[in-house]
Amino acid sequence: MLTLFKHTVARSKGAILGWGLSLGLLSLWLVSFYDTLAAQREMLEKAFSAWPKEIWAFFGGTADFFSPEAFINMELYSYMPLVLGIFAVLAGSSLLAGDEEKGFMDLLLGHPIGRTGVFFGRFFGFVVVLLGILTLMWLGTMIGMQWSTYMDLGWGQMWLPNLALLAQLLLFGGLALFLSMVLPSQRLAASVAGGLVAASFLINGMAELSTDVAKVAKYLPMKYYQGGLAAKGMNWEWFAWLMGAAAVFVLLAWWRFVKRDIRVGGEGGWKVPALRFWRRRPARAE
Amino acid sequence: MANQPAIAIHGLTKSYGKVRALRGIDLEVQRGEIFGFLGPNGAGKTTTIRCALDLIRPDGGSIRVLGIDPQADPVAVKARVGYLPGELQLDDNLTGEAQLHFLNELRGRKADWNYVRELAERLDLDLKRPIRNLSKGNKIKVGVIQALMHRPELLMLDEPTFGLDPLMQQEVLRLLVEAKRNGATVFFSSHILSEVQAVAERVGIIRRGKIVEVAGVQTLINRSLRRVRIQFRHDVDPTPLTQVPGVALLKRDNGRAVTLQVEGEMDALLKAVAAYPVVDFETERPSLEEIFLTYYADERNSHKMEE
């Protein structure tokens, strides 16, 4: 398991550095804006008050926009579940199904390692990859904060939004992993999970505007995402629920992986029996 | 346990939806032998091997590999087996050497690294090159090395020479013979009769998910049909040739050329032909498909007789 864990992290070095450094630099750049914003707070508050409430709601805005936590939430963490969520979905769906479809899984499982070892070696590697990206993003924020006069959040305090984001990403990644174990192909699993992530993001964004939408939104994980506001105080109950839901998907995926056939390399996927209904039957020869 | 066959498969069935990939496979491979598993593409060779390694789960029947049920203890089986998948895929980001180190880690560092270097040299493979820069043939070589490097008791190789040039095909076949000489059992699938013929002691022929024959290689060859085309210097009456046991006239181009079908050994025909002035004598080995057809002809005849 340890060998596969190390292999998973090693083969994702590019993803960690690419995503982590990009988001770290973005965080640094955004934090550097805060001083300008805080210095002109009174003037900007007047200007922003003209924004329609739909715009504020969609971007996760709060009345307390000028506090460091709210600023970092709106400018960075409010859309991270969508941005990094897509990464988590792609990585989660290809974690095992990608190896299967390429044919690499046959080679791995031809060695004396159990399916449980393969599964958790890959999964814990995925967790470390996410932690690596979030750590670089966090470092970018903290480095930016060293030059800021007005933004003064502690290192531990600023880690909390990342923890809230991690729970969200693990849930999306776990869902994609589970779908990749039950759906015919990795691509289909990524599409379905990606669609759910995007829908969850949009519905949650609109929930502030309509009570009907809010009724639906309370069943979606985005509702329980605190983002940058976690720096003010983490809702550990929400965090535990999200982590619990992620664990359920991961365990279901593990159960399925241990029980089912390994796909033939190069096959690309299975047929969807349910969709055969839609196929037109060929005309019978007389 | 040591007296048990290396591979014992009984009544193995496997379906993918409505497609019956395996329809009751019965097969035993004895310890220390080289066993060739023959069949055209899609016959069920890979499915059988993948069932034996617990990569897929059979619908019915039983499998024992080195006396162990692979579904009950897959790790114990795979610790003693060297496996080359039919659709080999390696990690493109690693060099050949790093790939082998990674796979060796999965094996608990059981490989003999001097042997790895020797194998790489014999197969003319540069282990320092990244996998992504290797040709298909060189990737197969990495696959062959990873299967052999820990000197397993049983080698299960799915088309080990597919994609290799003829010289390397010969080298891989030599490695299989050496592995057998060192006490290993070799079970390899192929759809190329000549390579199986070169090294295997026994063969199993699979077609449409059923074993149609398990026999010694020599027995198989003797049963197979050959096509012989003879060009004579002048007009010849071919009747004496067609009276040789196992010989049938397929075609008479003109008085000077005949095409015959020969079943069994060639000796009697050669002696009969020696009486004539021969300009050219060509024999054509039957394709695997033709051998299958002879088995199926037998099968059909036996069905008719039963009726």
| pLDDT for residue B87 | 85
CB A228 within 8 A of CB A203: no
From the CA of B25, how many Å to the nearest CA of chain A? 19
CB B39 within 8 A of CB B45: yes
Specify if A55 maps to a domain.
Answer: yes
CB A135 within 8 A of CB A20: yes
Distance CA B176, CA A110 (A): 19
Closest residue to B78, CB basis, from A103, A112, A262: A112
What domain range is B93 assigned to? Answer: 7-221
Specify if A245 maps to a domain.
Answer: yes
Specify if B156 maps to a domain.
Answer: yes
What domain range is A119 assigned to? Answer: 2-267
- Residue A113 to residue B106, Cβ atoms within 8 A: yes
Q: What is the mean pLDDT of each run of 10 residues along chain A (286 residues)?
A: 88 91 90 78 72 65 70 85 93 93 91 94 96 94 84 85 94 96 91 92 81 82 84 89 96 94 66 51 43
A268–B contact, CB cutoff 8 A:
no
> B245: domain CATH number?
3.30.70
Nearest CA in chain A to B88: A103
Residue of higher predicted confidence among A71 and B258 = B258
| pLDDT for residue A229 | 82
Chain A residues within 8 A of B55 when measuring between CB atoms: 106, 109-110, 261-262
Q: Which helix (H) or strand (E) holds B212?
A: strand B210-216
Specify if B300 maps to a domain.
Answer: no
| pLDDT for residue A286 | 34
- Collapsing DSSP to helix, strand or coil, B85 comes out as coil
**Residue in B55, B78, B101, B109 to test binding to A, most A beta-carbons within 10 Å:** B55
Query: Which structure tokens are listed for A87?
Result: 């990464």
Instruction: Phi first, then psi: give them for residue A242, nearest 5 degrees.
Output: -65, -45
| pLDDT for residue B290 | 63
Specify if B303 maps to a domain.
Answer: no
CB A20 within 8 A of CB A175: no
Q: B76 and B139: one domain? A: yes
| pLDDT for residue B190 | 83
Specify if A97 maps to a domain.
Answer: yes
How many domains does chain A contain in total? 1
| pLDDT for residue A265 | 59
Instruction: Phi first, then psi: give them for residue B20, nearest 5 degrees.
Output: -90, 100
- Residue B107 to residue A112, Cβ atoms within 8 A: yes
B78–A contact, CB cutoff 8 A:
yes
Distance CA A157, CA A232 (A): 8
| pLDDT for residue A63 | 55
| pLDDT for residue A18 | 93
Mean pLDDT across the stretch B16-36? 91
Within a 10 A sphere around the Cβ of B290, how many other Cβ atoms?
15
Q: What is the distance, to the nearest Å, from the Cα of residue B155 to the centroid of all Cα atoms in its chain?
A: 13
- Residue A271 to residue B74, Cβ atoms within 8 A: no
pTM, to two decimals: 0.82
CB B56 within 8 A of CB B70: no
Q: B42 and B174: one domain? A: yes
Specify if A212 maps to a domain.
Answer: yes
- Residue B75 to residue A112, Cβ atoms within 8 A: yes
Specify if A81 maps to a domain.
Answer: yes
Specify if B270 maps to a domain.
Answer: yes
The lowest-confidence range among B181-195, B208-222, B293-307 is B293-307
Instruction: Phi first, then psi: give them for residue B86, nearest 5 degrees.
Output: -65, -40
Burial B21-41 (b: 16+ CB within 10 A, else e): bbeebebbbebebbbbbbbee
Q: B69 and B201: one domain? A: yes
Q: B250 and B131: one domain? A: no
Closest residue to A103, CB basis, from B56, B75, B87: B87
| pLDDT for residue A72 | 84
The lowest-confidence range among A153-167, B243-257, B291-305 is B291-305
Specify if A274 maps to a domain.
Answer: no
Q: B158 and B122: one domain? A: yes
Specify if B29 maps to a domain.
Answer: yes
User: Highest mean pLDDT: which of A32-41, B22-31, B158-167?
Assistant: B22-31
Q: How much is the ipTM here?
A: 0.79
- End-to-end alpha carbon distance in chain A: 59
Q: B125 and B242: one domain? A: no
- Residue A7 to residue B102, Cβ atoms within 8 A: yes
How many domains does chain B contain in total? 2
Chain A residues within 8 A of B85 when measuring between CB atoms: 103, 106-107, 110, 265
The lowest-confidence range among A30-34, A204-208, B19-23, B300-304 is B300-304
Distance CA A18, CA B42 (A): 43
- Bridge partner list, B130: B95
A13–B contact, CB cutoff 8 A:
no
Q: B211 and B230: one domain? A: no
Q: B111 and B207: one domain? A: yes
A1–B contact, CB cutoff 8 A:
no
Specify if A62 maps to a domain.
Answer: yes
**Dihedral, B153, B3, B62, B24 alpha carbons, nearest 10:** 90
Specify if B69 maps to a domain.
Answer: yes
Question: Half-sphere exposure of A205 toward its Cβ, with a 13 Å CA cutoff?
Answer: 17
Average pLDDT, chain B: 87
Q: B103 and B126: one domain? A: yes
Query: Which structure tokens are listed for A85?
Result: 């969520």
Q: B34 and B172: one domain? A: yes
B143–A contact, CB cutoff 8 A:
yes
Q: B253 and B152: one domain? A: no
Distance CA A75, CA A61 (A): 9
| pLDDT for residue A284 | 44
Task: Write the DSSP assignment of A221-268 as a string of letters.
Answer: GGGG--GGGGGG---HHHHHHHHHHHHHHHHHHHHHHHHSPPPPTT--
| pLDDT for residue A283 | 44
B180–A contact, CB cutoff 8 A:
no
Query: Which structure tokens are listed for A214?
Result: 């809010």
H, E, C per residue of B149-206: CCCCCEEEEECCCCCCCHHHHHHHHHHHHHHHHCCCEEEEEECCHHHHHHHCCEEEEE
DSSP state letter for A221: G
B162–A contact, CB cutoff 8 A:
no
Closest residue to A11, CB basis, from B74, B83, B91: B91
A261–B contact, CB cutoff 8 A:
yes
Q: Which helix (H) or strand (E) holds B19?
A: strand B19-29
B89–A contact, CB cutoff 8 A:
yes
Nearest Cα residue to B73 out of A284, A112, A211, A203: A112
Work out the pLDDT band at B293, boundaries 50, 70, 90.
low
Q: B264 and B115: one domain? A: no
User: Which runs of consecutive H residues, i.e. helices, occur in B213-287?
Assistant: 217-223, 239-242, 267-273
Nearest CA in chain A to B156: A110
Per-residue pLDDT tens for B223-245?
A: 667 889 999 998 888 888 889 98
Instruction: Phi first, then psi: give them for residue A195, nearest 5 degrees.
Output: -60, -40
Closest residue to A106, CB basis, from B17, B85, B107: B85
Distance CA A208, CA A217 (A): 10
pLDDT higher than threshold 50 for residue B306:
no
Q: Which residues are within 8 A (CB) of B109 and not within 5 positions of it... i.e. 6 or more apart?
A: none
B50–A contact, CB cutoff 8 A:
yes
- Residue A109 to residue B78, Cβ atoms within 8 A: yes
Specify if A215 maps to a domain.
Answer: yes
| pLDDT for residue A201 | 87
Last residue of a domain, one of B174, B190, B221: B221
Mean pLDDT across the stretch B100-122? 92
Q: Which residues are within 8 A (CB) of A257 and not within 5 positions of it... i.e. 6 or more apart?
A: A96, A115, A118, A119, A181
Query: Which structure tokens are listed for B293?
Result: 């057809």
Mean pLDDT across the stretch B2-27? 89
What share of chain B in percent tops pLDDT 90? 53
Distance CA A172, CA A56 (A): 25
CB pairs under 8 A between A and B: 77
Distance CA B279, CA A275 (A): 64
Residue B300 burial by Cβ neighbours in a 10 Å radius (0-12, 13-18, 19+): exposed
**Residue in A8, A99, A106 to test binding to B, most B beta-carbons within 10 Å:** A106
Distance CA B285, CA B207 (A): 20
B75–A contact, CB cutoff 8 A:
yes
CB B255 within 8 A of CB B279: no
Question: With the C-alpha atoms ordered A227, A241, A134, A194, is the resulting torsion angle positive or negative?
Answer: negative
